Amino acid sequence: MVPSSSILSLLGVAIAVGQVMAQTQYACPADAGKTVVENNKKYELKCGQGIRGMPFEEEPSASIGACAQRCAAVPTCLHGTFIEKSKKCALKTTGELFDNAGLSTWYFVENVQTPPSSGGGGSGAGAGGNTQQPIGGGGSGTGSGGAGAGGNAQQPIGGGGGNAQEEDPANQASYDCPADQGKRYVTNGITYELKCNTGHSQGAYKEEPCPTLKECAARCARDPQCFSADWHVGQQQCAFKKAPAVLTPWQPGHAWWPTQCPKPRLAQANKTPQVATNLTCPQNDGKIFEGSDGTWFYLQCCADADGAVILDYKVVNSHKDCSEQCVQNKQCKSFMYVPGPAPTGGQANCRLYTNGNFSTTSLEGVHYAYVTDPPTTEAQLSDAKRCSAECPYADGQLYVSPTGENYLMSCKKRHGTTYLKIDRRPSFEACMSSCAAMPACQSADYEPRTKKCFYGSNTKNPLIAAEAFISAHSLGCSGACAGCKKTCDLGDAMAADQATCSSDHGKLLGAGGEDFRLYCEYCFRSSSVWNAPSATNLAECAKECAADTRCHGANWIPSQGCRFHPATDGNGNKPTFGQESLCHAVVPLDRSLADAENLSPHA
């Protein structure tokens, strides 16, 4: 016989499940604002809204409701967006809401318990509902932030766990609110930002006494499960939270929130950047690092391309792996990486671009890097003297023989390969001239002590270190390569590397955190149009469109600038679309004009 208390517990579970599953079909806009609990995660349906940023998974979905179930089943998912047009569910780790009539988003509210726990002490929402009680009760409010996949799982260059230093020299000795609101604390390779009078809307998996606000963050950083933490001022307790997490106003204490974004953000590239030893963000924002083939990249944390043609998508295990994908593709000049575990749904977390420049596009949850100039050091003065054939002054110098043959001279080295013959010459210069007179001779090793000249057929640099020798090898005859047989670039330098219509028609373009399709010599026409005067080129036009949610398509006309078009004009009519030689169009892929080819042609 089952004890009555167990029966009541089972009944409570059945009632809770019945409440969760009471509605299985959802439609927009009729069900806007409704909530659902799936897998102990509570979501609110946001109709006509999407989440900015690149999804880590985008798969077919049977319905709006199925999208909530998919997000709840993936531990790294924070928000799920159902795309009406493609019938797909896009999972996001973080991001801000934006308006789009074709999207419906399940917005994460909080973690809940099913059945709900009884009230009293402890961290998390009480039995009665969503009242926020991070440590010991009290406080309520709406969520004001979010975080999901990856959390602190930023992978460094070597593929390990980042900078494991316990403390950062820039840390304060202590932290207090409200004086230190927004200040940062770096410990164990993780950067936390202090949120005063703020807590979490979900419960804690662990609480313990903690003497100071600073120590609470340090303990969270040492716990692999801990994403963020609350510290209760009166009780001096630290509550540890797992991802996904959402912040909410909370008067009894303060929260430590992890961030990978720089503060302040650089407005332009460092002119003398430091060399990064790993790719941990935000510590290495504005630094440079080297790829396996010697290519150098400039790292920008929490950023994406201003406007660059998308070359390819990749699934990778780390930030370093993403950079190596760019290294291996010789067309790649920049890349964007979504930190966290490699996605399992086939959605890429690494995007390669054919253009690369410093970006002003801020986008939390992704990191950007572009090919940059290699670092330099102070030049060392050479001992070489022009026209000398004696060491050390001859090292690295050219000698032109009487027959017109050029020889590169190397001090303290010899070739050591099989000799054509050996004789004695009064000087190294005479040795080289004698070699030049012999058609078979391509190299000469000379020993000043014995005045021996060793004639050879080696056309490469000498590899044997020998302080007593000086050597030379032939580079061919003077004038042999004269004349411009291939390309002589005597014209103006190339323009800055950016997306253009010379070769990028029909390609995807990444700009301002959005994906666009580029249509060269095509144009939108509508009765409702407005200008973006700050855009000075095609890429900037796309970026400005991404930032304006009213823009569903944009025209770049070199002589007139950037012009935006809405989904419909004041009469409900969509723009027309057609070929025009002096106009180029860009179309956001997640807005209503994405299928521009299916619009009505110009009259």
Contact between 518 and 505 (Cβ < 8 Å): yes
Query: pLDDT-derived band of residue 481, with 50, 70 and 90 as boundaries?
Result: low
SS (H, E, C) 533-586: CCCCCHHHHHHHHHHCCCCCEEEEECCCEEEEECCCCCCCCCCEEEECCCCEEE
Higher pLDDT, 411 or 109: 411
User: What is the model's pTM?
Assistant: 0.64
pLDDT for 483 beyond 70: no
3-state secondary structure of 597: helix
What is the distance between the alpha carbons of residues 445 and 454, in angstroms, rounded to a whole number?
5
Which whole-number Å values give the CA distances from 104 to 41, 101, 490, in the listed order? 18, 8, 56
Contact between 488 and 440 (Cβ < 8 Å): no
- Confidence (pLDDT) at 480: 56
pLDDT digits 0-9 by tens, 13-69: 333 333 333 466 899 999 999 999 888 888 999 999 988 777 778 888 889 999 998
- Confidence (pLDDT) at 196: 96
Query: pLDDT-derived band of residue 120, with 50, 70 and 90 as boundaries?
Result: very low
DSSP state of 314: E
Q: What mean pLDDT is reported for the chain?
A: 82
**One-letter amino acid for residue 116 of the chain:** P
List the end-to-end C-alpha distance of the chain, in Å, as a whole number.
Answer: 80
Go through 364-403 and write b for each residue having 16 or more CB atoms within 10 A of its CB, e for each that does not: bbbbbbbbbeeeeeeeeeeeeeeebbebebbbebebebee
- Confidence (pLDDT) at 366: 92
- Confidence (pLDDT) at 18: 33
pLDDT for 220 beyond 70: yes
pLDDT for 109 beyond 70: yes
pLDDT digits 0-9 by tens, 121-180: 333 333 333 333 333 333 333 334 444 434 444 434 544 344 444 567 889 999 999 999
Q: Which range in 90-104, 155-169, 267-281, 501-515 is most confidently predicted, on average pLDDT?
A: 267-281
Q: Which one, of 144, 253, 261, 277, lies nearest residue 191 by Cα?
A: 261
pLDDT digits 0-9 by tens, 169-206: 889 999 999 999 999 999 988 999 999 999 998 889 99
Higher pLDDT, 19 or 320: 320
Higher pLDDT, 552 or 391: 552
- Confidence (pLDDT) at 51: 86
- Confidence (pLDDT) at 149: 39
- Confidence (pLDDT) at 465: 93
Higher pLDDT, 101 or 316: 316
Give all domains of the chain, ordered by start, each with its CATH number.
4-111 (3.50.4.10), 288-372 (3.50.4.10), 398-477 (3.50.4.10), 508-598 (3.50.4.10)
- Confidence (pLDDT) at 340: 77
Two structure tokens written together for 267: 């407005």
pLDDT for 94 beyond 90: no
- Confidence (pLDDT) at 234: 94
pLDDT digits 0-9 by tens, 254-304: 999 999 999 888 999 999 999 998 998 998 999 999 999 999 999 999 999
Query: pLDDT-derived band of residue 10, with 50, 70 and 90 as boundaries?
Result: very low
- Confidence (pLDDT) at 590: 87
pLDDT for 119 beyond 80: no
In DSSP notation, 32-96 reads TT-EEEETTEEEEEEEEEEE-S--SEEEE-SSHHHHHHHHHHSTT-SEEEEETTTTEEEEESS--
pLDDT for 344 beyond 80: no
Residue tagged 């400039």 (tokens): 298
Of 151-155, 408-412, 467-471, 576-580, minimum mean pLDDT range: 151-155
- Confidence (pLDDT) at 233: 95
Q: Which one, of 164, 223, 210, 218, lies nearest residue 192 by Cα?
A: 218
- Confidence (pLDDT) at 23: 64
DSSP state of 425: -
3-state secondary structure of 297: strand
- Confidence (pLDDT) at 101: 84
What is the mean predicted confidence (pLDDT) over 468-491? 70
